[in-house]
């Protein structure tokens, strides 16, 4: 063998060892369970041939005995192109010490985040990890050496979008990065929690069911930490790509522009038919959203959490917009604390990444009563209001039907939007006329005089009175909504700053 051949042979041997992950047996078990391994996940995520690895030959260093059995120190990281755009990517390799956090892989993650932030690349986390590595972290020396030495580790200033997939058991860092991200897709069967059920059982001295503690239903319906639920690894990774397709690579650029699919706006002629004639009947606002936006472009987030508020990314005329809508189908559109939090976090996402907001309004107000107050409704309502007030991307609101009370302001009424448009079906007032008749005149429904006073209150809520004081800048025919919005997005484009907002909420908490 000449020198070149010797080097090649040595390189090949080292590379084979480094790419072995946790060994054939563990990898086969995963495959049988229908789970991709870390490298297969990266392959699915990155454009073919585009992944360039960082730290292929890194291993655990805390215990010399681990060196040969910890390829990549359990976290495979590098740079890959996602739909043609450069991104920093991280795949936890659960087959190597449960992808636990150690000294070397901590430095790998820090490097990825540093490059992503400084060079303006989205960051993708493929989460599945057991938490801090034991016994490395034990004792005061372990703690002192391993934790807290990077003061920016969990700092979030939204310089670039972070997208996360929770793909298996995720404790510690995988959970932290999932909730710090703008988007977290969760695979059914995965668990997202602070700590493992074993540790939780030891701490509280009772059995803990992992799915009850941190399964998909909990995070889809109770915590809102899952933006999307899917059945497989493949679907989760594809969802990350779809999410990123709406976003700019960093906060100093406008989102990418896509071609407008054929057939967009096709259903606009009949859009009014999607709303029932009776004001007491409900409908699913998402059908209207899908009709208005570019064909198949509505990507709903947190569909099962705070359902009375609908949030999702979409495109109008090829440009990314954030849709915020009330959904009468749930609670008649009366906004609750969960919906306020969901809308607040979505407003922060859009404003941080230069995505204009479109608000579709049909709400009788906020849910009131004992339970609502116990859920800290006033605080949630004002957080949302503050977020809307701090927004510097264009905000367009369309009042479809009801807009009442403080919720009128929270949904962009008055100067809380750049433009307020209303359908002829809009009704705007401080409270539902039925209740107002009781409050003002003391008359219950069915009693003499009610109908007359109701008719008077109801007439005074009409869109024409609203437009007469220029509280709506336009009354639009329902079928014109899509064209109106596309034109107004053009009018309000942030020309003076190349489509970039001021990001006053960049340090807003990442969850609630």
Which residues of this chain interact with another protein, rule CB under 8 A? Answer: 280-282, 304, 307, 328-332, 334, 364, 369, 371, 432, 434
Residue 211 Cβ vs another protein, minimum distance, rounded to whole Å: 11
Measured from the CB atom, the residue of 199 and 329 that comes closer to another protein is 329
Measured from the CB atom, the residue of 350 and 367 that comes closer to another protein is 367
Q: What does the block give as tokens for 55? A: 């730290």
Measured from the CB atom, the residue of 159 and 432 that comes closer to another protein is 432
CA 69, CA 131: separation in Å to the nearest integer?
A: 18
- The bridge status of strand 52-54 relative to strand 75-82 is antiparallel
- Identify the helix (H) or strand (E) that includes residue 399: strand 395-404
User: In whole angstroms, how far apart are CA 364 and each of 327, 456, 473?
Assistant: 11, 18, 22
Listed residue (232, 346, 332) closest to 278, CA to CA: 332
Residue 280 Cβ vs another protein, minimum distance, rounded to whole Å: 5
Q: What does the block give as tokens for 448? A: 């003499």
Residue 384 Cβ vs another protein, minimum distance, rounded to whole Å: 20
Listed residue (428, 503, 481) closest to 458, CA to CA: 428
CA 162, CA 156: separation in Å to the nearest integer?
A: 10
Q: What does the block give as tokens for 244? A: 């990123």
Residue 399 Cβ vs another protein, minimum distance, rounded to whole Å: 17
For the beta carbon of residue 191, count every other beta carbon within 10 angstroms. 25
Residue 331 Cβ vs another protein, minimum distance, rounded to whole Å: 5
Measured from the CB atom, the residue of 174 and 330 that comes closer to another protein is 330
Measured from the CB atom, the residue of 260 and 282 that comes closer to another protein is 282
Q: What does the block give as tokens for 256? A: 């990418």
User: In whole angstroms, how far apart are CA 14 and each of 19, 59, 68, 93?
Assistant: 9, 12, 10, 18
Residue 332 Cβ vs another protein, minimum distance, rounded to whole Å: 4
Measured from the CB atom, the residue of 68 and 371 that comes closer to another protein is 371
Please tell me whether residue 151 adopts helix, strand or coil conformation: coil
Residue 175 Cβ vs another protein, minimum distance, rounded to whole Å: 25
Measured from the CB atom, the residue of 255 and 328 that comes closer to another protein is 328
CA 488, CA 483: separation in Å to the nearest integer?
A: 9
DSSP assignment of 327-354, as one string? -TTTGGG-B-HHHHHHHHHHHHHHHHTT
């Amino acid at each position: 063998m000449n020198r070149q051949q010797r080097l090649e042979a040595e390189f090949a041997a080292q590379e084979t060892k480094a790419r072995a992950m946790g060994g054939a047996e563990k990898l086969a078990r995963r495959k049988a369970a229908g789970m991709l391994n870390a490298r297969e996940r990266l392959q699915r995520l990155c454009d073919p041939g585009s992944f360039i690895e960082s730290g292929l030959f890194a291993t655990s260093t805390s215990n010399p005995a681990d060196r040969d059995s910890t390829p990549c120190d359990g976290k495979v990281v590098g740079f890959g192109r996602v739909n043609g755009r450069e991104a920093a990517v991280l795949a936890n390799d659960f087959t190597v010490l449960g992808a636990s956090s150690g000294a070397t892989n901590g430095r790998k993650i820090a490097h990825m985040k540093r490059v992503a932030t400084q060079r303006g690349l989205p960051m993708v986390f493929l989460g599945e990890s057991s938490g801090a590595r034991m016994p490395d972290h034990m004792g005061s020396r372990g703690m002192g050496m391993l934790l807290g030495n990077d003061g920016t580790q969990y700092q979030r200033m939204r310089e670039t979008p972070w997208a996360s997939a929770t793909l298996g058991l995720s404790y510690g860092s995988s959970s932290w990065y999932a909730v710090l991200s703008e988007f977290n897709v969760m695979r059914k069967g995965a668990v997202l929690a602070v700590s493992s059920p074993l540790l939780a059982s030891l701490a509280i001295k009772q059995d803990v069911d992992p799915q009850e503690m941190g399964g998909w239903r909990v995070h889809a319906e109770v915590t809102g930490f899952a933006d999307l639920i899917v059945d497989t690894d493949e679907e989760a990774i594809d969802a990350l790509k779809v999410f990123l397709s709406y976003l700019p690579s960093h906060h100093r650029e406008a989102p990418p522009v896509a071609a407008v699919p054929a057939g967009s706006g096709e259903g606009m002629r009949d859009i009014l038919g999607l709303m029932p004639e009776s004001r007491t009947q409900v409908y699913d606002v998402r059908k209207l959203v899908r009709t208005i936006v570019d064909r198949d472009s509505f990507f709903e987030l947190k569909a099962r959490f705070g359902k009375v508020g609908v949030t999702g990314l979409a495109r109008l005329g090829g440009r990314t917009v954030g849709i915020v809508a009330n959904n009468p189908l749930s609670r008649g559109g009366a906004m609750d604390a969960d919906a306020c939090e969901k809308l607040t976090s979505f407003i922060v996402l859009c404003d941080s990444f230069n995505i204009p907001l479109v608000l579709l309004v049909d709400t009788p107000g906020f849910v009131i009563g004992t339970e609502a107050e116990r859920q800290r409704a006033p605080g949630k309502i004002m957080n949302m209001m503050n977020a809307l007030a701090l927004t510097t991307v264009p905000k367009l609101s369309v009042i479809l039907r009801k807009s009442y009370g403080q919720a009128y302001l929270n949904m962009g009424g008055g100067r809380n939007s750049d433009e307020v448009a209303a359908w002829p079906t809009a009704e705007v007032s401080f409270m539902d006329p039925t209740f107002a008749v009781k409050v003002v005149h003391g008359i219950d429904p069915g009693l003499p005089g009610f109908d007359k006073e109701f008719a008077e209150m109801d007439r005074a809520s009409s869109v024409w009175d609203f437009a007469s004081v220029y509280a709506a800048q336009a009354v639009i025919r329902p079928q014109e909504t899509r064209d109106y919005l596309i034109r107004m997005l053009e009018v309000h484009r942030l020309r003076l700053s190349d489509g970039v907002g001021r990001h006053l909420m960049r340090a807003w908490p990442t969850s609630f």
